[in-house]
Every structure is written in structure tokens, then in C-alpha cells.
Amino acid sequence: MTMRLAEKVALVTGAGRGIGRAMAIRLAQEGAHVVAANTDVQQAEEVAAEVAALGRKGLALRSDVTCRDDIDGMVQNTVEAMGRIDILMNNAGVLGFQGLLDVTEDDWDAVCNVNLKGAFFVLQAVARQMIRQGEGGKIVNTASISGKQPEFFVHYGVSKAGVISMTKSAAVALGPYHINVNAVCPGETVTDMHLASMAFHAARNNISVEEFIQRREVRIPTGRRSRPEDVAALAAFLASADADNITGQAYNVDGGLVMVA
């Protein structure tokens, strides 16, 4: 594999599993040292060990992106351990299993505090560090095609639409500092969160999870759901010098689903 990220330092939030784990591993495969930040530190430690097994420096941090002190500590600990931050994978996210008429204020806050508010303050803290370093950087936010089309879990869709908007605004604000900001927008991706969503919708439709997934997959132009590695591959490109003149974009990784949904 091409070492496009040799000796870069990457911070990945929500790195314990799913897309975040795949991002951490892909960046390490391309030469980056990786800090895996996660609320479940045991999961983060497992990812950091995988990074180390690839011959890179791996560090696990427990961090809750809804806590400003945790965010500041995460950035400080990364810089103390690794010396700098070149790449941010702003990936931490949650899903709330409520439809529009059932969402409470607590439900709304639980989703938006992580997916949007937390993502913003992580971006802000890392951008400040990158500006101090004076050598630019790459920020990749994890949004979703749910931010581009109607979404049953409305608070999730709103949070991801906000991430897309944030990406565009941050790209303009940080461009003069040579910091590129882009977003990846996964579609149906085989993760624990996605499978929980499929189970929820299958129960609503009184069918098996397997049948519901099959009905969904036949609508995808490529005929399959994405793997976390599909999203990580695009994220690695956006973190590399190959994407030096790309910023403010939100790229779908969905097998074409957004076009037919």
C-alpha cells in the first residue's frame, strides 16, 4: 500500500469500532501514527494495539466529545505524546431510535450533543492546534447521506446536515491556514449502529432483520452495503497530499443509494 501519510500524526475520535476503527487502521497502513480516542478506552486500546502491530505509534485515549474538558485534554495529550496533530478524523457519533413524534428534548440533546456540538468543538480545538503548528492540516468529518435526504430518525438527520454545513464553513475559515476540511457521507454501512437501526426498522415493519436488509440492498445501485473500509479509503485520500486542493466537500460513500432513495 502507498505510504501517503508517512510520519503524519492522526487523531481519530470514535475510534473504538466501526468506521472509526477502520479509519485508524487505514491511516496506519498508509504510514500515520494514530491516536485512538473513544468513550470505551478498552476498545481504543485494542485499536491502538492494532496500529502498533503495523509498525506505527498507537495511543489510546478515553474521551467524551460532549465534555469540553475532555476535548481539550485529548488534544493536549495527543500533542504531548506525538508532538503534533496533522490529521483529524472527526468521527464520533451516535444514533437515537425515535421517530419525529417521539423525540424528546433529552433524545434530541443526546444525539446532537455528540454528532454536531461535540464535532464542532473537536474541530475547533484541533484547528487551533494546527494553526499554532503553522503547517496546515487535514480535517475529515463523518457526516451521512442522512444529512442530504429525509431521515426517519430526524434528530440524527439534522445533526448530520449540520456537520455538512459546518464542513463548508470551516473550509472557508481555515483555508488561509492551509487546513483542508471535508466530510465523508456514509450510506448503509455494515456497523453495529447500522445493524441496530436495521433491527429497529424490521420490527416496525413486522419482518425479519434479514428480509429487511435484503429489501434495502436490492435498492442500492452497486448491489451491496458499504463496509467501514470503503469509508476509510476515501477518508485516507482526503487526509493525503493527493487532496491538497480539495476542501469544503461532502462525499457520498453509499453505492449510489442517495440517488434512488
Active site residues: 156
| Distance, CA of 212 to CA of 206 (rounded, Å) | 9
Residues in Cβ contact with 153 at an 8 Å cutoff, skipping those fewer than 6 apart:
95, 96, 97, 98, 99, 111, 146, 197
Phi, psi (deg, nearest 5) at residue 37: -105, 135
Contact 24, 100 (CB under 8 A): no
Locate the DSSP E strands across the chain: 9-13, 33-38, 58-62, 87-90, 137-142, 179-186, 250-253
Contact 82, 45 (CB under 8 A): no
Contact 33, 54 (CB under 8 A): no
Closest CA to 61 of 96, 99, 31, 35: 35
Residues in Cβ contact with 221 at an 8 Å cutoff, skipping those fewer than 6 apart:
255, 256, 257, 259, 260
| Distance, CA of 252 to CA of 231 (rounded, Å) | 9
Which SS3 state, helix, strand or coil, does residue 140 take?
Answer: strand
Q: Give the CA distances from residue 97 to residues 60, 108, 200, 204, 218, in Å, rounded to whole numbers and listed in that order.
A: 29, 11, 8, 11, 24
